[in-house]
Structure 1
Amino acid sequence: MILIEDTVISDDIKEKEFVCNLEKCKGACCIEGDLGAPLEEIELKVLQDEFEAIAPFLSPEGLEAIREQGLYIEDEEGDFSTPTIAGRECAYVVYDKNGCLKCGIEDAYNAGKTDFKKPISCHLYPIRVTKYEQYHALNYDQWSICSDACTLGKELQVPVYKFLKEPLERAYGEEWYAQLVEEIEGE
């Protein structure tokens, strides 16, 4: 376990290797699971403010799901997530020409239409963050649909923390990330 500021980071994040392999999984993490993508409360306002810029990048089915369910949903525990299309894929995803799911929000970002890249929970995956009153726990979420990403990560020798440098810096800052690298590589 690694402790940095108000975060507790599991050893798996330094020890496991991972590189997304969209050619193999086709973006299965955007369709599998019980709900859409987890959302931070701050992201709810961002979705409200940025939806008009994002909407042209979404599928008709996604737009319909959002019209019916709203920009986000709240579950029984008070947590927020993206709506889904017929209880399956996230309403914000689109299929590319190769049949891979990709994020319509990120497409809008890449086109320069919004400053919101995508929900941080998606950007950080396979790290899942559990927020407690005094600290955040960062854990590696091993899921069978990502077995090809684990294989590719091993082939390329890329640990989770290096693969997720950009989203970790986005979530916790460059100084925090530098401390993480020092803690791991300084051992």
Structure 2
Amino acid sequence: MFSLVDDVYVEDRLFTLKARCEYEKCKGACCKGEGLGTPLFEEDIKRIEKETGEYDFFDYQRGPRLKLRKNGECMFLRGDNCTINEIKPFFCLAFPVVLHIKDGFKYLMFQPYSECSFVKSDIHYVQSISRALVQRFGQRWYDRLLERLK
């Protein structure tokens, strides 16, 4: 089920989920993706281009998406570290909360990979990804989301 927060349909479990990612167990599975590359919004592309001077980091075959290395990892991953940590795309900041846009409607959904591992937290998961949500939807929208947490 979904509840509407302004113009975004938010999966109901996001209003109650109190957990955080346990990166030391999954080893950044989200950085390796599912072999498709990280989905990008145009704002992500512009921000990465501006901050890095890099222009050959994405393709439009299934996209736009970040290009992958031959081993299937994100081209910005070096060991266990992201080289664009401060300017990560929305998908990277929010995962496993994913934004789907279909027929003009926005759906915010919780879609972890099988490798994802979580531990209980004192705060709601959406609070741990506040940077991504504010960046994408704005502070006013995020404040309205917080009002709905249970």
TM-score tier (shorter): 0.7 to 0.9
Residues 1:85 and 2:69 aligned together: yes
Query: Stretches of 4+ moved more than 3 A in 1?
Result: none
Displacement of 1:139:
0.5
Cα distance in 1, alignment partners of residues 60 and 13 from structure 2: 30
Q: Secondary structure at the match of 1:144?
A: coil
Equivalent-residue separation in structure 1 for 2:112 and 2:131 (angstroms):
20
> Pairwise mapping of residues 106-145 of structure 1 onto structure 2 (< 5 A)?
106=85, 109=86, 117-145=87-115
The 8 Å contact of residues 5 and 145 in structure 2, kept in 1 or not, is answered as yes
> Could you tell me how far 1:133 is from its partner in structure 2?
4.4
1:27-46 equivalences in 2 (<5 Å):
27-46=28-47
Q: Please say if residues 35 and 87 of structure 1, whose CA atoms lie closer than 8 Å, have aligned partners that are also in contact.
A: no
Larger Rg computed on CA atoms: 1
CA contact (8 A) 2:44 2:89 kept: yes
Where is the helix percentage greater, Structure 1 or Structure 2? 1
Aligned position for 2:142 = 177
Q: CA, structure 1 residues 41+162, in 2 after alignment: closer, same or farther (shift >3 Å)? A: same
Alignment length (residue pairs)? 149
Please list every run of 5 or more consecutive structure 2 residues that lacks an aligned counterpart in the other structure. Answer: none
Contact 2:30 2:113 in 1 (8 A): no
2:15–2:148 CA contact under 8 A, matched in 1: no
TM-score relative to the length of structure 1: 0.71
| Mapped partners of 2:124, 2:139: distance in 1 | 18
- CA separation in 2, counterparts of 1:87 and 1:80? 20
